[in-house]
Copies of this chain bind each other. A is one copy, B any other.
Amino acid sequence: MEERNLPLGMEVGKMLREMFRVLKKRTCEQAQIKLTIEEFGLLHAISRKEDDVIQKDMAYILGKDKSAILRLIDSLEKKDLVRRVVDANDRRKNYLMVTKNGEKALKEYVEIGAKLMTELQEGLTEADMNTFYKVVNQIRSNSEKI
C-alpha cells in the first residue's frame, strides 16, 4: 500500500468532489436558498459555536485566510443569512449572528446533508468512521505543527 502515499490528497479530493457534486445537485433541487458549499460550511460553523464568534476565530476554525472568510461573510450577509454585530466594548471585533433566514436555510441544508451522508456511509460501521476521523484529525494536527 506504499504506493498510496501522497495520492492521498488526490483520492480524498476526488471523494469530496463526488460528494459535493451530489450535495449541490440535491440542494439545488430541494432547498429554497442557494448556498455554495463554502457558504454552507461557514454558516454551519457559526451556528454551531455556542460562545461568541468573531471573524478571526472562524478563519482559524475553518483553516482559511481571514480575507477569504471576510468575503464569505460578505456574501452571507448580502443574502441576509448572517449579521455582523460590533462588540460594544471593543470596536475591532465583529460578532457573527445567524439570522432567522439563516437558521431556516441552514435547517434545509443540514437535513439534506444528513440524509445524504447516511446514504454515502452505507456499508461503513461506526468504528470505520471513528478511525476515519482519527486519521483526518491526526494528519491535520500534524500539518499544523509544521
Which range holds the interface residue count of chain A? 35 or more
| Cα–Cα distance between A119 and B115 once the two chains are bound (Å) | 36
Knowing A4-B129, A133-B4, say if A15 contacts B143 (CB, 8 Å): yes
Contact between B6 and A143, CB atoms less than 8 A apart: no
Q: Which residues of B contact A143 (CB under 8 A)?
A: 15, 18-19, 21-22, 120
Contact between A131 and B131, CB atoms less than 8 A apart: yes
- Among candidates B5, B16, B129, residue contacting A13 with C-beta atoms closer than 8 Å: B16
| Cα–Cα distance between A63 and B7 once the two chains are bound (Å) | 14
Contact between A12 and B16, CB atoms less than 8 A apart: yes
A-B contact list, 11 entries, CB within 8 Å: A1-B126, A6-B116, A9-B37, A11-B137, A12-B136, A13-B63, A14-B140, A15-B139, A18-B139, A120-B139, A121-B138
Give me 14 other A-B pairs in contact (C-beta within 8 A), A7-B45, A15-B137, A123-B138 excluded.
A1-B129, A1-B130, A6-B44, A9-B23, A12-B15, A14-B140, A17-B63, A19-B139, A22-B146, A25-B146, A119-B142, A120-B142, A124-B135, A124-B138
